[in-house]
Amino acid sequence: MKYIRLSIVSIVFVLITTLTFAQSNVTIKILQTSDVHGAIFPYDFIRNKPMESSLANAYTYIQQERGNNSQEVILLDNGDILQGQPPVYFSNFVDSTKPNLAARVFNYMNYDAATIGNHDIEAGPTVYRAIERELKMPWMAANAINTKTGKPAFAPYTIITRKGVKVAVIGLTSPGIPHWLPKAFWPDMYFDDMITTAKQWVEYIQKNEKPHIIVGLFHSGHDATYSGASASEPRNENASLLVAQQVPGFDVVLIGHDHDKLCKKFANVNGDSVLVMDPTSGAKLLSQATININLDKNGNLLSKTVKGELVETNQFEANAEFMSTFKTDYQRVAEFVKRPIGEFTQTISSANAYFGPSAFIDFIHTAQLELAHSDISFVAPLSFVSTIKSGTITVSDMFKLYRFENFLYTMALTGKEVDGFLEHSASLWFNTMTSTTDHLIKFKINPDGSIATDSQGKTQLSANFYNFDSAAGIIYTVDVSKPDGDKVTILSMADGSAFNEDKTYSVAINSYRGNGGGGHLTKGSGIAPEDLSARIKSSTEKDLRFYIMNYIEQKKTITPASLNSWKIIPEEWASQGIARDKKLLFPSNNN
């Protein structure tokens, strides 16, 4: 009996031991950055002050997690690093003596994969193709298709293996790129629908790669109705959540582009849970998806759990080794942005641009009119609040004045199309007032009728401020007592001559707007998207910021002043609306 009992115990022990070694338990931790926009160092080179968050801060946490032997770390980026803070501008367009800073930083941080964003494409093919060659990882966009081959113009996906666990990462970028950027930035390319592309590649990967985990890395936001879009329209700019819900197979969908904050699970069409994460911008947050996976001895999936959280990078000091490695880059950028280029005799702020003509916007108008030798200029504020103080103007101030690397176009528009353009802008910008007690600005309204606020308590505009275009070169009024589509009356050209709706005018406009961004030329002016390129008569070879910088250097001293080429009427209504709405938009009164 004793012998039999020992045998049974031995058999049970062998069975337990066999089962234990037959299973593999692996923890995969996926970390994602997105929309870094040049925030490589913990310093704001535009406003000349330290920043609490940057890739240098994020790297401290990343290395900490890599040091945890109980897990496997995968590091991903979701695009839009090449535009924003001056370090990337300097590396992209000023210093070409060594490999691009973004590529060197990605390689140093040992990223496993990245998706290319629209502002990376905006750097131009010379820049982004060189970076693609310099990177030690795939730069992906499965829905960017080469028109000559019919195949993806970038890597469509990558397979990352950790301790026998196969992780497939599919990259998609926003199909809205053709609406914002000149064709020269995406030659021999078109951008396919995200849902269609995701279905194709998930099916292919499941069949040919048989991964244990599928991750979507999408440079696209989660609100498919953003800016009045329809969730059912093809090539939706912000289709990330639609993909997560409509395309079975994804465990995690990491998104960006919209600079929003999201960490939530959604059900797909099969009822399976999909974790969707969005880490805002500027390396302020890291998306962290923790996946615990259990495999049998043959590598087959037994079980899988997924959870996510957003990690704030400002709780970590900038990594000392990182800062030392890129010390020379930091110093060269610091010297670059300090270079004086001229003088402003007074302080200007874009905060004034929401309530009528402003010296800030009208300075850009004046520069555009001269640079393009045009009849009319269109300009919108590109930063919600940006202030340039009187005195010496440096290179860093140029990033406050003009945020993006847009080109300057000269386009041919009829007077009627100019009017339609401004009507569209006014419909986004101004409320239709019925009395002096109404709001002047069009705010986003909650179902209960109250004005919507964001997660930080800030009042939300109905449309994006960077679509609030005004004009120079003409004299006009905006009557906020009239309905949308009938608010603008163009009185004359700026020199007093007659304005003619049938005449064709030369118009200075940035490339984002000139390619259809915001819908001003398509929905407003009524020009078919495919006909926009034929209206472009000339374009600058470099970004508009570069030419404005040269403009200031030639003038040496600038006295910014409002052109007063337009006004809001009824003036008493506008006056009371301004006083009321300024308090909502700028409650701190520090602008």
Q: What is the pLDDT of residues 409-446, one digit of tens each?
A: 999 999 999 999 999 999 999 999 999 999 999 999 99
Q: Residue 9: pLDDT above 70?
A: no
The band of 2, judged by pLDDT with boundaries at 50, 70 and 90, is very low
Distance between CA atoms of 187 and 181, rounded to whole angstroms? 11
**335 three-class SS:** helix
Distance between CA atoms of 186 and 388, rounded to whole angstroms? 34
**Judgement on whether residues 523 and 397 belong to the same structural domain of the protein:** yes
pLDDT of residue 17: 43
Task: State the number of CA atoms in the 13 A half-sphere of 140 facing the CB.
Answer: 28
Note whether 469 and 517 are within 8 A (CB). Answer: no
**Judgement on whether residues 400 and 484 belong to the same structural domain of the protein:** yes
Flag whether 54 is in a domain: yes
Residue 39 carries which DSSP code?
A: -
Flag whether 143 is in a domain: yes
What's the total number of domains in the chain? 2
Note whether 539 and 407 are within 8 A (CB). Answer: yes
**Judgement on whether residues 265 and 158 belong to the same structural domain of the protein:** yes
Q: How far apart are the first and last CA of the chain?
A: 91
Flag whether 510 is in a domain: yes
Flag whether 1 is in a domain: no
Q: How far is CA 421 from CA 377, 378, 466, 483, in A?
A: 12, 9, 14, 15
CATH (domain of 435): 3.90.780.10
- Determine the distance from the C-alpha atom of residue 258 to the mean position of all C-alpha atoms in its chain, rounded to a whole number: 6
**Judgement on whether residues 321 and 414 belong to the same structural domain of the protein:** no
pLDDT of residue 22: 57
**Judgement on whether residues 409 and 269 belong to the same structural domain of the protein:** no
pLDDT in tens, 222-233: 999 987 889 999
CATH (domain of 192): 3.60.21.10
**Judgement on whether residues 273 and 357 belong to the same structural domain of the protein:** no
**169 three-class SS:** strand
Q: Residue 15: pLDDT above 80?
A: no
Distance between CA atoms of 226 and 463, rounded to whole angstroms? 9
Flag whether 11 is in a domain: no
- The pairing of strands 72-77 and 24-33 is parallel
Considering only 216-220, 297-301, 357-361, 370-374, which range has the smallest mean pLDDT? 297-301
More confident residue, 305 or 1: 305
Domain boundary among 333, 348, 375: 333
The band of 589, judged by pLDDT with boundaries at 50, 70 and 90, is low
pLDDT of residue 6: 43
Which residue segment(s) compose the domain that 549 sits in?
339-585
**Judgement on whether residues 160 and 179 belong to the same structural domain of the protein:** yes
Q: Residue 282: pLDDT above 70?
A: yes
Q: Considering the chain, what is the average pLDDT of its residues?
A: 94
**Judgement on whether residues 264 and 384 belong to the same structural domain of the protein:** no
**Judgement on whether residues 354 and 328 belong to the same structural domain of the protein:** no
Distance between CA atoms of 255 and 277, rounded to whole angstroms? 6
Distance between CA atoms of 173 and 189, rounded to whole angstroms? 13
Q: Residue 279: pLDDT above 70?
A: yes
Flag whether 3 is in a domain: no
Distance between CA atoms of 287 and 276, rounded to whole angstroms? 10
**Judgement on whether residues 209 and 94 belong to the same structural domain of the protein:** yes
Q: Residue 591: pLDDT above 70?
A: no
Distance between CA atoms of 116 and 119, rounded to whole angstroms? 8
